[in-house]
Amino acid sequence: MLFSRLLPVGILAAVVHAQADSSSTTSSQSGVTVITGASEASVPTGSYLSLSTTITVSTSSSAVSTEAVVSTITSRSSTRTTTLGSTTIFAIGTLTLTGNATSSTSTATQIVLTGAGHTTTTALNGTSNSTATSTSSSVQPTNTTPCNNYVEFCDRSYGNITEVAAHNSPFIRAGSVAANQALSVTTQLNDGIRLLQGQIQWNGSVPHFCHTSCDVLDAGPITDWLSEVYDWVVDHPFDVVTILLGNGNYSNVDKYVPFIEQTGIQNYAFEPPKIPMALQDWPTLASMILSGKRVVIFMDYQANQTAYPWIIDEFTNMWETPFDPTNRSFPCFPERPPNLDDANSRTHLYMANHNLNYDITLLGNSLLVPYTPLLNVTNNVTGYGSLGLTVENCAANWGFPPKFLNVDFYNVGNGSVFEVAAKWNNVTYTRECCGLVESGATRLDMVGRSAVVVAMGVIGVVWLLM
């Protein structure tokens, strides 16, 4: 049995040895790219900004108005107008008023995104005394419009909601072992993904979403993907979406800005009132929705919030657990930024990288790719190596769950990743999951003898792990 399991690896070694004298090259055949010599760093690194200084950009709070909110966005050749309707803040709870009365409540607040005006008002934080005059005995309205799929989220802080992230969201090529997702970005958002992450590399003079190298997996220009996200955002006025741009080349942010601005997505971009933002500084989803600034854009390296306040430096605002983990225990400690102290770890957003990988080294190529045989376990609610256990451990370590759960192939598990998030948000996940999956045989985009090596390498690794 041991011999039979080692056989594919032995064949692989023989093939690799036969190619040992060939140099690292890049070539193309029938539109398929052949690559050798690419290497993926185990942990990205770059310059990190200090958390020691806080800059207050604006001290004014978000306005809450009873007037209709109309947002007009001009992008490319079209102009889109979104009307949110009349809005009022009301407290959740029982409040009986007769004529002129004074009342107090200790319940949380809820935003009403649609409905008629009302003469009754309450304190915005729902905890202080409030005086109200009522001219009607009608029951106070309650919100029925969900924010990010849940009514309960409208009055919660952005930092007080756990959401599922699509690791390498653009990398959806059917059958490629370098792919991380199976469904389009529109489907990802429809299913409930609320953070979209992707790595940028330069393909000539145009930034593309590429996995380590554009020779390995090229998902196309960032403008195509961002335009698709923009269209979804326009069509969903009650959703807050987060984008995390991985600066794979560590280029200055101003090189990317013209391409981002071509899509119009910056018109919806949230600009933080503080640099950096601590956990308690983030506004509610409702206030972001009402302001029209409901796309949060992070960049991991080389962000410059002085020049472009809408592109937020990731690591002064949010830390991450170990990058591209290969350890099924998924330890929950800050790896990036390095040397983050305990106090700052507990007062800032964080993202749990829960995507299990294994390393393929072929003809000089070192690639971390998703460990697909264990996806059902990795994305599960319970059990060793599961997403559910990871979040439980993180919450025990830091006193609160991660803001984002960064997963591969979120659709595997029939919504289990969303069920985990719902549990920690104290809501119930009842949606159907997930969209249709494209079919394709597992491959890495190489041809000829390289393709044979890749196929045998994958088979050998999987066979040994059976």
Q: Residue 211 catalytic?
A: yes
Distance between CA 416 and CA 423 in Å, rounded?
11
Q: Are both 109 and 236 inside the same structural domain?
A: no
- In this predicted structure, the answer to whether residue 41 has a pLDDT above a threshold of 60 is no
pLDDT score at 29: 33
Q: Are both 172 and 90 inside the same structural domain?
A: no
| Pairing of β 349-353 and β 404-407 | parallel
Q: Are both 283 and 379 inside the same structural domain?
A: yes
Task: Taking the CA atoms of 183, 188, 193 and 195 in sequence, report the sign of the dihedral they define.
Answer: positive
In a domain, 334, yes or no: yes
In a domain, 446, yes or no: no
Beta bridge partners of 133: 100
Instruction: Give how far Cα 404 sits from Cα of 34, 238, 382, 425, Å.
Output: 35, 19, 18, 12
> Which amino acid is present at 44?
P
The CATH number covering residue 409 comes to 3.20.20.190
Q: Which of 118, 208, 211, 354 is catalytic?
A: 211
Phi, psi (5° rounding) for residue 20?
A: -60, -30
Which segments of 304-446 does DSSP mark as H helices, in order? 342-345, 375-378, 387-398, 416-425
Instruction: Read off the tokens for 232.
Output: 């979804």
Task: Please say whether the beta carbons of 64 and 71 come within 8 A.
Answer: no
Q: Are both 182 and 81 inside the same structural domain?
A: no
Q: Are both 112 and 163 inside the same structural domain?
A: no
Q: Are both 424 and 285 inside the same structural domain?
A: yes
Q: Are both 204 and 94 inside the same structural domain?
A: no
Q: Are both 262 and 177 inside the same structural domain?
A: yes
65: pLDDT confidence band, cut at 50, 70 and 90?
very low
Query: 198 by DSSP, 3-state: which?
Result: strand
Q: Are both 110 and 171 inside the same structural domain?
A: no
| Pairing of β 26-29 and β 32-35 | antiparallel
Enclosing domain of residue 82: 70-133
Domain end point (choices 118, 133, 148): 133
Nearest residue to 315 via CA among 301, 331, 296: 301
The number of helix segments (H) and strand segments (E) in the chain equals 10, 22
53: pLDDT confidence band, cut at 50, 70 and 90?
low
Give per-residue pLDDT as tens, 169-196: 999 988 888 899 999 999 999 999 999 9
In a domain, 2, yes or no: no
In a domain, 462, yes or no: no
Domain count of the chain? 2
Q: Which of 167, 208, 348, 354 is catalytic?
A: 167
Beta bridge partners of 109: 91
- CB count, 10 Å around CB of 316? 22
Q: Are both 228 and 300 inside the same structural domain?
A: yes
In a domain, 321, yes or no: yes
Convert 413-439 to b/e letters by CB count within 10 Å (16 or more is b).
bebbbbbbbbbbbeeebeeebbeeeee
223: pLDDT confidence band, cut at 50, 70 and 90?
very high
Indicate whether this model's pTM tops 0.85: no
Give percent helix, percent strand, percent coil of the chain, each to the nearest 5. Answer: 25, 25, 50
Distance between CA 364 and CA 86 in Å, rounded?
61
In a domain, 14, yes or no: no
- The structure tokens 């108005």 sit at 65
In a domain, 42, yes or no: no
- The structure tokens 């690194």 sit at 45
Q: Residue 17 catalytic?
A: no
Phi, psi (5° rounding) for residue 421?
A: -60, -45
Task: Please say whether the beta carbons of 284 and 238 come within 8 A.
Answer: no
Domain end point (choices 88, 118, 133): 133
- In this predicted structure, the answer to whether residue 440 has a pLDDT above a threshold of 80 is no
- In this predicted structure, the answer to whether residue 431 has a pLDDT above a threshold of 60 is yes
Q: Are both 87 and 226 inside the same structural domain?
A: no
137-140, Cβ contacts within 8 angstroms, sequence gap of 24 or more:
137/98, 140/90, 140/95
pLDDT score at 48: 67
Q: Are both 128 and 173 inside the same structural domain?
A: no
Average pLDDT across the chain, whole number:
76
Domain end point (choices 133, 149, 183): 133
In a domain, 208, yes or no: yes
Strand extents, DSSP E, 7-113: 26-29, 32-35, 55-56, 70-75, 78-83, 88-91, 100-104, 109-112
User: 280, exposed or middle or buried, with CB in 10 Å at 0-12, 13-18, 19+?
Assistant: exposed
Distance between CA 337 and CA 319 in Å, rounded?
6
H/E run at residue 2: helix 2-18
- In this predicted structure, the answer to whether residue 126 has a pLDDT above a threshold of 70 is no
- In this predicted structure, the answer to whether residue 70 has a pLDDT above a threshold of 50 is no
- Portion of the chain with pLDDT greater than 90, in percent: 57
